[in-house]
């Protein structure tokens, strides 16, 4: 009984790692090439290869060490790279987030007043 529950829990964890890797791979593929350079991150090809390997390892290689290593890479993409890409691309929630077209990097431009 306990081994069956443990096996089910491990299957759930493996499935979650696979889903995260697939979602990260799709998001990395949808971002523009120049956004990676503008955000000062590795290239799009680098992230596509790394996240593609993460999906492959999760599907084909039942080695927990490799899966955890690629899980770390997937988490880095979600926590570091994706927000930087969104900031550079102007994406994110709410578009411009309520700003005006005359807003500069330090607040609204008031015409020299």
Please check the confidence at residue 98 and state whether its pLDDT lies above 60. Answer: no
Top pLDDT among 4 and 69 is at: 69
Please check the confidence at residue 112 and state whether its pLDDT lies above 80. Answer: no
Top pLDDT among 111 and 17 is at: 17
Average pLDDT of the segment spanning 41-60: 95
Please check the confidence at residue 37 and state whether its pLDDT lies above 70. Answer: yes
pTM: 0.74
Kindly state the tokens that stand for 19.
């889903």
């Amino acid at each position: 009984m306990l081994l069956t529950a443990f096996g089910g829990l491990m299957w759930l964890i493996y499935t979650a790692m696979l889903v995260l890797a697939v979602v990260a791979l799709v998001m990395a593929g949808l971002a523009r090439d120049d956004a990676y350079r503008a955000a000062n991150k590795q290239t799009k090809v680098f992230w596509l290869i790394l996240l593609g390997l993460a999906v492959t390892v999760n599907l084909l290689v039942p080695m927990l060490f490799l899966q955890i290593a690629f899980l770390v890479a997937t988490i880095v993409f979600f926590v570091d790279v994706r927000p930087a890409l969104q900031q550079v691309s102007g994406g994110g929630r709410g578009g411009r987030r309520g700003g005006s077209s005359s807003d500069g990097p330090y607040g609204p431009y008031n015409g020299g007043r």
